[in-house]
Structure 1
Amino acid sequence: MEPLFTPEQLAEIHAYHQPHYIRAAVDPLVHVALVVLLLAVLVRPVYRGATAAAAALERRFGFLRTAPVSRAFFTAMDRLWGESGWGAAIFFALFIDLATQVLYAPANVWFYYVLEHQYGMSNLTPLSFAWIWFKAIVVAALALTALVVGMYGLARRVRRWWLVLGVPVALLMLVAAALDPYRARLYFDQAPLEEGPLRSRITELMRKADIPFSDVLVEKTSVTSKRVQAYFAGQGPTRTIVLNDVIVKELSEDEVLAAVAHEAGHVNEARWPGRIASSLALVALLFLIDQVQRLSARRGWWGVQRTGDIRTLPLVSFLVFLLFNLAAPISGALSREREREADRYGLRLTGDREAFRRMLVKAARVNKMDPNPPRWLVLRGMSHPPMGERISALDVP
């Protein structure tokens, strides 16, 4: 049987992935070192700088507090925060985030622009790369601001804030997947798959699987990347089948059907137990954050004297980092098993073992997937089984 890669291709793939493996090993150590630096040295001076910046803006633009339109915003923010001072808290969080962005900027440019172009995986121009990066920074800043005002503002005013915040957010998480089709459009243009044999065969395949869907869309990711991709977005009435324009171009109809069949396997997964567990885990995490804030106030760390002090943010971030890294091996193992079952389901649905194998082989070649990545990386939390393992499993009757 034809090998997955020629020796030359395999050598190129190993050269492409080796820097990523080194970064995966080093990144946790860098993160820990950065947190230690923040907690031991930088929290106090950064907070002083944030307070000074907020005071300077207050002096310069304080008239906006009484202006007819803007005063409603300032009144609402004061109420959310419980008092004045939310500006310093937002600046503190943004200063720390900006410092982290600057620290990682050289590595991110090299990994996500230089290395991708070096191995022919990216279509980004310098301008489009900068624009995507800028959008990501803006979205992160807005999300961070909402976190600061929402979580810390509530913690300052309500004793059991973790329950008040956690329960509605957990309930929202249960149905948030319905919004996935709309979130994706923030990043790439989408258009309905044109009428023709492929659309008809996908519709027939979903009828056979008894999976209702609203549309088949082509996502124009080739403006940034040369990777193939297919996924289902949304649930119930918002469920859509999304193919990127690369997979439509690179794969035959039988191979695209195999990819869709694999993704259909995820539709039939028992999702509610996982969603309920995630919602409960969120409430538990917020409770732990509350305990960390209270401990910081009791000990007076960094001058903290009350729950909801923004100076605990680096410690809270480190707690989340630790918990996610501890949970990653378990969640990764569960995810890999779901992917194996989706492969088995897709193969049963299409009944075309050769097309399924060709789909995986082409995906591995186009996406330059390492067929056998380091075992430690897999066990640490890879979401998919190695491609070599997935293809070998197809050869077992």
Structure 2
Amino acid sequence: MEPIFTAEQLAEIKAYHLPYYIRSGLNPFLLLGYLALVLGPLNGPFYRFAQRLAGWLDNHLGFLRRAPVLRVVFQVLDKLWGETGWGTALLFGLCVDLTYKLVFLPADIYFGYILEHRYGMSTYTPLTFAKDELKDVLAGVVLVCSLVLGVYGLARRVRRWWLVLGVPMAVLLLLVSSVLDPYRSRAYFDQEPLEAGPLRTHMTELLARADITFADILVEKTSVASKRVQAYFAGQGPTRTIVLNDVLLQQFSEGEILAAVAHEAGHVNEAQWPNRIASALALVAFLFVIDWLLRRAAARGWFGAMRFADIRTLPLISLLYFSVMLTAAPVSAAFSREREREADRYALRLTKDPATFRQMLVKAARVNKMDPEPPRWIVIKGLTHPPVGERISDISVP
């Protein structure tokens, strides 16, 4: 049977992935180092800078508090925070977040632009790359502001804030998050309905056999940024859509596209509720631990904290989140790899065409430059898909 790669192709793929493996090994230590700095020697200077900047803005732009529309915004922010000082809190959070992005910007440029171009995987121009990086920064700003006002603001005013915030968020996580999935990627890529024709007809027939209802089949224009192929399902119930990127339509045959969609259909037929319930409970537990840490920090004066929910403890939440994710990643990834194997088996039962399914995996491995045999520690650390070499070898072709 034809090998996945020639010796030259395999050597190129190993060279392409090596910097990513080095980064994966070093990143936890680099992030821990940064968090140690912002919880230690940089904590005080960042907080004092935020105080001075907030004071300067209040002196020079305080008149905005009296503007007809902005007056309401300021009143809402005062109420959310429970007292004055939310400006310092927001600026401290943004200072921590934006400094992190600035420190790691050279690595982001190297891995996101230079390395990807070097191996022919990216179609970014400097301008489009910068635009997407800016979108990531703005998303981070929104997240930090929500965290500061939502967690710290509520914690300062409500004793059992973790229940008041955690339960509604858990319900939203259970019921709403998947419904919003189809709209997230549109912030980065244009989408349009797949045109009528044999592919759309055959895909509809395939999904009818799988008893999967959907709202539409969309083509995502990712070729402006990447040469990778991709297909996924987004949404739930009436918002469920099948998304095929335009590179997939250009590079793959109809049978290979149907094989990829059949694999994604396998995920739709997984039992979704156990994972969602576990995620919702984990969220409430995570907020409870944050509450415990904030109280310990206030009682012992950690990081200069003067009271409960002092904003100077914000990096402590990042450290907690990092620790939880690092610990949970190997377990979560192991379950994910098994789900991927089951999705492969489901696709083979649905299409009854192992030769085309294998051909689809081989072509995807070549186009996306997948390492067929990554280091074992990379797999254990958090690889969400089985190595493509294992997936291909598991397929029995008559």
Give the structure-1-normalised TM-score: 0.99
- CA shift, 1:40, in A, is 1.8
For residue 159 of structure 1, what is the aligned residue in structure 2? 159
Cα separation, 2, equivalents of 1:68 and 1:185: 34
Q: Does 1:185 align with 2:177?
A: no
Question: Identity of aligned pairs, percent?
Answer: 62
Query: Which AA in structure 1 matches 2:109?
Result: V
Runs of 4+ in 1 over 4 A off after TM superposition: none
For residue 22 of structure 2, what is the aligned residue in structure 1? 22
My pick for the range that moved more, 133-142 or 9-18, is: 133-142
Query: Which AA in structure 2 matches 1:68?
Result: P
- CA shift, 1:273, in A, is 0.6
For residue 70 of structure 2, what is the aligned residue in structure 1? 70
Cα separation, 2, equivalents of 1:139 and 1:18: 30
Query: Which AA in structure 1 matches 2:276?
Result: R
Query: Which AA in structure 2 matches 1:46?
Result: F
Query: Which AA in structure 1 matches 2:217?
Result: V
- CA shift, 1:316, in A, is 1.2
For residue 217 of structure 2, what is the aligned residue in structure 1? 216
- CA shift, 1:305, in A, is 2.4
| Structure 1 residues 396 and 378: alpha-carbon distance in aligned structure 2, compared to 1, 3 A threshold | farther
For residue 99 of structure 2, what is the aligned residue in structure 1? 99
Cα separation, 1, equivalents of 2:208 and 2:34: 52
For residue 39 of structure 2, what is the aligned residue in structure 1? 39
Cα separation, 2, equivalents of 1:261 and 1:25: 34
Query: Which AA in structure 1 matches 2:289?
Result: L
Q: Does 1:9 align with 2:9?
A: yes
Query: Which AA in structure 2 matches 1:292?
Result: L
* Helix, strand or coil at the partner of 2:372: coil
What RMSD, in angstroms, separates the aligned Cα atoms of the two structures?
0.9
5 Å matches for 1:79-98?
79-98=79-98
- CA shift, 1:68, in A, is 1.9
* Helix, strand or coil at the partner of 2:123: coil
- CA shift, 1:245, in A, is 0.3
For residue 323 of structure 1, what is the aligned residue in structure 2? 324
5 Å matches for 1:120-269?
120-175=120-175, 176-269=177-270
Please list the CA deviations of residues 79-120 of structure 1 after superposition, one character each: whole Å capped at 9, or x if unmatched.
000001001001001111111111101111011100000000
* Helix, strand or coil at the partner of 1:157: coil
Query: Which AA in structure 1 matches 2:51?
Result: T
Cα separation, 1, equivalents of 2:366 and 2:351: 22
For residue 360 of structure 1, what is the aligned residue in structure 2? 361
My pick for the range that moved more, 250-259 or 30-39, is: 30-39
| Structure 1 residues 15 and 102: alpha-carbon distance in aligned structure 2, compared to 1, 3 A threshold | same
Q: Does 1:384 align with 2:371?
A: no
Unmatched segments (≥5 aa) in structure 1? none
* Helix, strand or coil at the partner of 2:40: helix
* Helix, strand or coil at the partner of 1:231: strand
Please list the CA deviations of residues 123-151 of structure 1 after superposition, one character each: whole Å capped at 9, or x if unmatched.
00001111110111011111111111111
| Structure 1 residues 350 and 396: alpha-carbon distance in aligned structure 2, compared to 1, 3 A threshold | closer
Cα separation, 1, equivalents of 2:296 and 2:270: 41
- CA shift, 1:303, in A, is 2.1
Cα separation, 2, equivalents of 1:228 and 1:67: 50
- CA shift, 1:396, in A, is 7.7
For residue 48 of structure 2, what is the aligned residue in structure 1? 48
Cα separation, 1, equivalents of 2:151 and 2:340: 35
Query: Which AA in structure 1 matches 2:33?
Result: A
Cα separation, 2, equivalents of 1:184 and 1:40: 37
- CA shift, 1:63, in A, is 1.0
Give the structure-2-normalised TM-score: 0.99
5 Å matches for 1:314-353?
314-353=315-354
Cα separation, 2, equivalents of 1:387 and 1:247: 18
- Mapped contact 2:355–2:397 kept (Cα < 8 A): no
- Mapped contact 2:298–2:309 kept (Cα < 8 A): no
